[in-house]
Amino acid sequence: MKRTSKVFTLLALFTLLPTAAHAASPMHVVSAGDTLSKIARENHTTVDQLMQVNQLHTDQLSIGQTLSLPSTDLSVSADESAPPDVATSNNHAQGEVEKITAGEKARVTGDVLNVRKKPSVDAKVLGKLKFGALVEVLETGSEWTKIEFEDREAYVATEFLSAKLSSLPQMSGDVDTASLGRLETIFTPLLKTPYVLGGTTPSGFDCSGFTSYVFNQLGVTLPRTSEDQFNSGQAVSLDEAQPGDLLFYDALGKGRVSHVAIYLGNGTIVHANGDDVRYGKVEYMHKLYPFYGVKRYIQFQ
């Protein structure tokens, strides 16, 4: 009788093991209509992270394919000590709320900003907006701003929006302000352009296709891939990085450069991040991926 009890106990333990493993490693089974971008967006991660965790070499998926979902503290769960509508601490909130106008766009200054169904911290969270995202303002308020979010009306905390769409810093000294302005004029209309593996045009970019396109508009021809772009150019330390420099990372965990971003100053970058073209932060990139270095192809200062 005792032996039988032990057998049942062991069977019960083994039955629980898969459940525990599954809880530690969330999975997604690919269904019709799924894309890496769609799966990444729904699970608050990036295409690059999905490809890295699952060792994918292409963005092609098969129905029934099982994918491991990466866990990231940067975009999934809110820190209990953080402000109620920002998922992580925010260094870009305005000390004084800037005047935001209905009918115009505003830029998200919080790291990860909650989008709510109603203007209340108790309202349902419809999604999240990351730092630098541009939103269409429908109605303004001192505490809450109504925006258009995925073809519906929603609300975000006003204090984490900026009416200033520009991301380039004001720099002192001998600066080619005309070239800096030209850089921003080129990439701003490209924000939200979808990520397309191998893409090199405004209909879709991968990371190096985006940098190549932007620099080509400035009269500078870059090598095609991020790895080749890293192997050329003038090496610069991160402390000396200037707007227009390129920052390189190993986003696929292969031990070599696989991602490139354009530095904009003040710890801000713009890049095709695996979902779309968007602003980002250097400190987050350094937490997510090994950093390889900075290269300069054009002198703005």
Length of the chain (residues)? 301
Say whether both 285 and 252 belong to one domain: yes
The answer to which of 71-75, 104-108, 170-174, 286-290 has the lowest mean pLDDT is 71-75
The helix-helix angle for 207-217 and 177-187 (nearest 10°) equals 130
19 half-sphere exposure, CB direction, 13 A CA radius:
5
Reported as a single tens digit per residue, the pLDDT across 5-47 is 554 444 444 444 333 333 345 788 888 767 776 787 677 676 6
Residue 119 lies in a domain: yes
The Cα 284–Cα 292 span in angstroms is: 15
Cβ(89)–Cβ(126) under 8 Å?
Answer: no
Q: What residues does 248 pair with on adjacent strands?
A: 260, 293
Segments forming the whole domain that contains residue 227 = 177-296
> Can you give the CATH number for the domain in which 91 is found?
2.30.30.40
Does residue 170 sit within a domain? no
Do 292 and 202 have their domain in common?
yes
What is the per-residue pLDDT across 247-271, written as a single tens digit (0 to 9) for each?
Answer: 999 998 889 999 999 998 888 899 9
- Do 279 and 248 have their domain in common? yes
Identify whether 32 is part of a domain: yes
98 and 64 both lie in a single domain:
no
